Amino acid sequence: MSTERPPLTSFWNDTGRTGITSWIFSTDHKRIGLLYFFTTFGFFLVGVMLGLVLRIELMAPGRTIMGPTTYNAVFTVHGVVMIFLFILPGLPGAFGNLVMPIQVGARDVAFPRLNLLSWWLYVSGAAIVLTSLFTGGGPPDTGWTFYVPFSARTGTNVTLALFGVFIIGFSAILTGLNFITTIHRLRAPGMTWGRLPLFVWSIYATAWVQILATPILAITLVLVMAERLLGTGLFDPAKGGDPLMFQHMFWIYSHPAVYIMILPAMGVISDIIPVFSRKPIFGYKMIAFSSLAIAAAGSLVWGHHMFVSGMSDTAVLVFSFLTFIVAIPSAIKVFNWVSTLYKGSISLEAPMLFALSFILLFSIGGLSGLILGAAATDVHVHDTHFVVGHFHYVMFGGAGFAFFGAMHFWLPKFFGRRYAEKPAVVAWALMFIGFNVLYFTMQVLGMKGMPRRYYDYLPEFATLNLVSTIGSWILACGLVIMLVNLFRGLLKGEPVDSNPWGGASLEWTIPTPPPTENFVEEPVVTHGPYDFTRAGEA
List residues near other proteins by CB under 8 A.
107, 110-111, 114, 173, 176-178, 180-181, 184-186, 211-212, 214-216, 218-220, 222-223, 226, 230-234, 239-242, 245, 249, 517, 519-522
The nearer residue to other proteins, 240 or 310, going by C-beta atoms, is 240
- The C-alpha angle 271, 171, 164, rounded to 5 degrees, equals 125
Amino acid identity, position 93: G
We find the least distance from the C-beta atom of residue 170 to other proteins, in angstroms, to be 9
> Does residue 498 contact residue 518 with C-beta atoms inside 8 Å?
no
Residue type at 509? T
Between 219 and 376, whose beta carbon lies closer to other proteins? 219
CA separation (Å) from 471 to 113, 466, 476, 509?
44, 9, 9, 41
Q: Which is nearer to other proteins, 4 or 521 (CB)?
A: 521
Non-local CB neighbours of 37 within 8 Å, separated by 6+ positions? 93, 94, 95, 98, 411
Residue 92 contacts residue 260 (beta carbons within 8 Å) = yes
Is the link from the previous residue into 515 a cis peptide, with omega within 30 of 0?
Answer: no
We find the least distance from the C-beta atom of residue 231 to other proteins, in angstroms, to be 3
Q: Residue 161 or residue 218: which is nearer to other proteins going by CB? A: 218
Distances (CA, A) of 518 to 90, 185, 280: 22, 17, 25
Residues 6+ apart with CB under 8 A from 326: 294, 297, 298, 301
Give whichever of 484 and 520 is closer to other proteins, judged by the CB atom.
520
In the complex, what is the shortest distance from the CB of residue 232 to other proteins, in angstroms, rounded to a whole number? 4
**CB count in 10 Å sphere of residue 246:** 24
Name the residue among 57, 145, 50, 56 with its Cα closest to residue 455: 57
Nearest to 326 by CA among 288, 364, 294: 294
* Number of alpha helices (DSSP H) and beta strands (DSSP E) in the chain: 18, 0
Q: Least Å distance between CB 259 and other proteins?
A: 16
Closer Cβ to other proteins, 221 or 261, answer by number? 221
What's the min distance (Å) between Cβ of 504 and other proteins? 21
Shortest distance, CB of residue 7 to other proteins, whole angstroms? 17
Phi, psi of 113 (to 5 degrees): -70, -35
The distance of closest approach from Cβ of residue 230 to other proteins in the complex, given in angstroms and rounded to an integer, is 4
Give the bridge partners for 495, in sequence order.
417
Give the residue with the Cβ less far from other proteins, 186 or 374: 186
Q: Which residue, 108 or 141, is less far from other proteins as judged by CB?
A: 108
Nearer to other proteins, 72 or 171 (CB): 171
Q: What angle do CA 519, 118, 515 make, to 5 degrees?
A: 15
Q: Taking the complex as a whole, how short is the minimal distance between the CB of residue 517 and other proteins, in angstroms?
A: 5
Smallest gap from Cβ 296 to other proteins, in A, equals: 15
